[in-house]
């Protein structure tokens, strides 16, 4: 039991620098009911988060597996080959664009209303003091230039239109993807330890961490595993399924 507690503690504290689920900040208990305010600036209560995609894994980013409401302020969405997908960040959106699939109808969360708006109409604050998601440079979108300028005045950063921000994210993608892959590999190793200590073995391959996390929860493979330890196990199961 002590070994299990130690493994989970290590998983909870690691990879803070990327400031992403399993690689950064967590949440207060009770957030699932919208009763407590988040520690993480990027998080909103469940009741305020729009989830545009459908299916069993709809609460998770299809690219990295992170929980969407935990990073809602940086969420993007788009139709991918005609099917709506929702991403935790612009980085994961760019990953989908680079996959060669047809990506249309790109949307982003307006940080003034917490509603999705067309990304082409949004104004971004790039490089503010607020945390980034899957990137070293933060990107928060607003429905009006005035709102973006007010945010930048308070927290720093540069106000930019969507096309310029997307171009910046695409240029930084390869370097950031390599950094993220390294961090995720480290986390997957911790996930392997947690999986072997706490989970029932499963003979199934998973294409994504999101798919693995849903399977873990539906089949109760690892007891009451959640948050960063769940993300770690999801990444591990994805890694052995490749």
Report the C-alpha gap between 158 and 235 in whole angstroms. Answer: 34
- Please determine, for residue 19, whether its predicted confidence score (pLDDT) is greater than 50: no
The tokens 């873990």 sit on which residue?
216
- Please determine, for residue 189, whether its predicted confidence score (pLDDT) is greater than 60: yes
Residues 6+ apart with CB under 8 A from 106: 76, 77, 78, 93, 118, 119, 120, 162
pLDDT-based confidence at residue 34 (cuts at 50, 70, 90): very low
pLDDT score recorded for residue 22: 52
* Span 49-103, pLDDT tens digits: 999 999 999 999 999 999 999 999 999 999 999 999 999 999 999 999 999 999 9
pLDDT-based confidence at residue 192 (cuts at 50, 70, 90): very high
pLDDT-based confidence at residue 47 (cuts at 50, 70, 90): confident
pLDDT score recorded for residue 21: 57
Please choose, from the candidates 59, 109, 116, 115, the residue with its C-alpha nearest in 3D space to the C-alpha of residue 89.
109
Mean pLDDT of 203-210: 95
What percent of the chain stands above pLDDT 90? 81
38 touches 44 (CB < 8 A): yes
213 touches 55 (CB < 8 A): no
pLDDT score recorded for residue 39: 72
Strand order in the sheet with 76-80: 83-87, 76-80, 103-110, 115-118
119 touches 141 (CB < 8 A): yes
pLDDT-based confidence at residue 224 (cuts at 50, 70, 90): very high
Report the C-alpha gap between 114 and 44 in whole angstroms. Answer: 9
Strand order in the sheet with 158-161: 139-142, 123-126, 158-161
- Alpha helices in 29-161, H assignment, sequence order: 90-98, 145-155
pTM, full prediction = 0.84
- Alpha helices in the chain, H assignment, sequence order: 2-13, 90-98, 145-155, 162-198, 209-218, 227-240
Mean pLDDT of the chain: 87
């Amino acid at each position: 039991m002590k070994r299990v507690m130690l493994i989970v503690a290590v998983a909870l504290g690691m990879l803070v620098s990327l400031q992403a689920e399993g690689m950064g900040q967590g949440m207060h208990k009770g957030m699932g009911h919208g009763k407590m305010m988040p520690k993480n600036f990027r998080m909103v209560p469940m009741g305020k988060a729009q989830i545009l995609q459908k299916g069993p894994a709809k609460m998770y980013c299809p690219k990295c597996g992170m929980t969407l409401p935990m990073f809602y302020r940086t969420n993007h969405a788009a139709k991918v080959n005609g099917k709506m997908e929702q991403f935790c960040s612009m980085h994961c959106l760019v990953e989908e664009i680079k996959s060669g699939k047809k990506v249309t109808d790109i949307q982003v969360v307006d940080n003034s209303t917490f509603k999705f708006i067309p990304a082409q109409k949004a104004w971004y604050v790039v490089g503010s003091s607020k945390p980034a998601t899957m990137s070293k440079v933060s990107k928060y979108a607003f429905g009006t230039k005035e709102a973006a300028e007010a945010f930048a005045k308070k927290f720093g950063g540069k106000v930019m239109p969507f096309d310029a921000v997307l171009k910046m994210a695409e240029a930084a993608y390869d370097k950031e993807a390599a950094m993220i892959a390294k961090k995720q590999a480290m986390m997957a190793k911790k996930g392997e330890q947690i999986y072997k200590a706490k989970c029932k073995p499963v003979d199934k391959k998973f294409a994504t961490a999101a798919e693995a996390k849903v399977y873990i929860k539906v089949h109760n493979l690892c007891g009451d595993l959640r948050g960063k330890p769940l993300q770690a196990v999801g990444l591990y199961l994805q890694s052995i399924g490749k």
